[in-house]
Amino acid sequence: MEANRNETEYVTFTTARQLFGLPIECVQDVFKPSRLTRVPLAGPEIAGVLNLRGRIVTAINLNNRLDLKTAADGKPPMAIGIESGGESFGLLVDAVGEVLKLADGEREPNPVNLDRRLARISAGVFRLDGQLLVVLDVERVLDIGLEAAA
């Protein structure tokens, strides 16, 4: 009972064969991106902009953002809608999984050998059965401009 209080729900998804989790309160909605408009001169991490019920959503290609190779299975990506600084973003990922309830106590800091590309945006990991769930730090994922400058 005591442990229950310290659980967090994560929306899980995979992209480039890696499992990720986002705290459920960060996630506004999950949608199939359609009519994505390319933005000329934008970096590779910007997939484009789209209209989601009257809001303009900036779609972030998470694979490009993380320098992960896209699994070319031709399946259309899914988008996870998040909000930051009053703006709407959509993280394009390969597939959205289930919602997992995980005990905060089991969240571990990034293992030293974690892929550097993942470590940059990770807020810790969970060791699940046979795979590693990387908890995404939304702010760091969206911190696109600064990193480019650095």
Contacts with other proteins, residue ranges (CB under 8 A):
35, 37-42, 46, 49-51, 53-56, 58, 60, 85, 87, 89, 142, 144-145
Select 39 or 95, whichever has its Cβ closest to other proteins. Answer: 39
In the complex, least distance from residue 133 CB atom to other proteins, rounded to whole angstroms: 26
Which string of DSSP letters, residue by residue, matches 72-111? ---PPPEEEEEEETTEEEEEEESEEEEEEEEEGGG-BPPP
Nearest to 127 by CA among 139, 116, 142, 114: 114
In the complex, least distance from residue 67 CB atom to other proteins, rounded to whole angstroms: 17
Select 88 or 122, whichever has its Cβ closest to other proteins. Answer: 88
Select 67 or 83, whichever has its Cβ closest to other proteins. Answer: 83
